[in-house]
Amino acid sequence: MTALLSDELLANIGRSNPPQRELVTRRDIRKYAVATGNRQRKYLDGDQAPPMFHVPLFWDVVELDQLTPDGVSIDTLLPKFPLEKAMAGGLKIEYHRDIFPGDWLTATRTLTAIYEKQGRSGPLIFYEVIMNIVDDDGQLVIREKTTRILR
Amino acid sequence: MTAAGKPARFDSIRPGDELPQRAFKPDNVQSMLYNAVLWNGHRIHFDEPYARDIEGYPGLVIAGPLLGDWLNQCVEEWLGDDGRLAAIEYSNRIATYIGETLYSGGVVTACRPDSGEVDIEVFIKNEAGDVVTPGRALARFYRF
């Protein structure tokens, strides 16, 4: 147990969301490629999904009454932290194989770490979420680690 | 192609090589389409009075992962068909707003002939030259 992080809070490490299975479609690829200003024809035509297409594919689709007044969906994987002001976070993505229209992909998000550090102006809480994305054969397609900092 | 079986392009790459820069000036339409594709309803991206008056931002905030995507594009366009982006990491350090012009770019920091791998430092800079989104990428050149 540390100053801010109770044993109860730390017990959330290892929690996972239920696996989410989604279908990759040409139309969704095309919309993403256009919206991001991509210039490669294979992506604009939807023949292949560009890097980071997993971001829209697995963004939570929640109903209107589940959004906060500022339009944000609540991440049900996260416990209530004693610090709540979000600072810059980071993302690390490994691309293990390419993604094509017709692929069914399944993502599982796991809260893998919660730790505290002393910042210049006070304590900071760090947490990490790993999202593993596999195909229907169970092969790893993408592994993404998100690190967020709260003050 | 060399005796080692790697494409000639890999042999010409050196640490310090710069990736082509690209300018981006997303407008309200692009920002709306991007957040709609994500199903991201966060008001700071489309509700200007809310962003200014409630959250205290100077304007509409450009979504962080859009800048991350541009880093991916920067590496992929440089690689062409000679290899693939194997990994990337970045963090959004400074907020950016609709109306700003932003620049993606990168610099090769290491080449490993044994594996055909190249490390690249990538960045998004603002008009003042501040790095708003630093990152690192790993590219793997195909062996012919």
Q: Tokens 């991001």, residue?
A: A36
Average pLDDT of chain A, as a whole number: 95
B44 interfacial to chain A (CB closer than 8 Å): yes
How confident is the model over A2-17, as pLDDT tens digits? 688 999 999 999 999 9
- What is the C-alpha to C-alpha distance for residues A1 and B74, in angstroms, rounded to an integer? 43
Q: What percent of chain A has pLDDT over 70?
A: 99
Mean pLDDT of A92-107: 98
pLDDT at residue B3 in the model: 52
Which residue among B43, B69, B89 places its CB closest to the CB of A70?
B43
Looking at the predicted structure, is the pLDDT value of residue B143 above 80?
no
Q: Write the residue in B30, B47, B72 that is nearest to A52 by C-beta.
A: B72
Chain B residues touching residue A34 (CB < 8 angstroms): 33
pLDDT in tens, B86-106: 999 999 999 999 999 999 999
Q: Are the C-beta atoms of A16 and A109 separated by less than 8 Å?
A: yes
CATH number of A7-150: 3.10.129.10
Q: Where are the domains of chain B?
A: 1-25+63-144, 27-61
Q: Are strands B102-112 and B117-125 parallel, antiparallel or unpaired?
A: antiparallel
User: Looking at the complex, does the CB of residue B141 fall below 8 Å from at least one CB of chain A?
Assistant: no
CB–CB contact B26 A37 (8 Å): yes
Please tell me the pTM assigned to this model.
0.94
Position B6 scores a pLDDT of: 58
CATH architecture of B1-25+63-144: Roll (3.10)
B122 within 8 A of B105, measured Cβ to Cβ: yes
Contact B88 A32 (CB under 8 A): no
pLDDT digit string (tens) for B30-63?
999 999 999 999 999 999 999 999 999 999 999 9
Mind telling me how many Å the CA of A35 is from chain B's nearest CA?
5
Q: What DSSP assignment string belongs to B52-119?
A: IIIS--SSPBPPHHHHHHHHHHHHHHHHTTSEEEEEEEEE--S--BBTB-EEEEEEEEEEETTTTEEE
Q: What is the mean pLDDT of residues A117-146?
A: 96
Domain-wise residue ranges, chain A: 7-150
Chain B partners within 8 Å of A50 (Cβ) = 69, 72-73, 76
Buried b (16+ CB within 10 A) or exposed e, B84-122: bbbbbbbbbeeebbbebebbbbbebeebeeeebbbbbbb
Specify the range with the lowest mean pLDDT, choosing from A45-49, A111-115, B85-89, B140-144: B140-144
Picking from B42, B65, B86, the nearest residue to A55 by CB comes out as B65
Phi/psi for B50 (5° steps) reads -65, -45
* Residue B108 confidence (pLDDT) above 60: yes
Q: Do A35 and B33 touch (CB under 8 A)?
A: yes
Output the pLDDT for position A1.
Answer: 47
Measured between beta carbons, which residues in chain A are less than 8 angstroms from residue B26? 37
Is residue A64 over pLDDT 70? yes
Coil vs helix vs strand at B136: strand
Assess whether pLDDT exceeds 80 at residue A68: yes
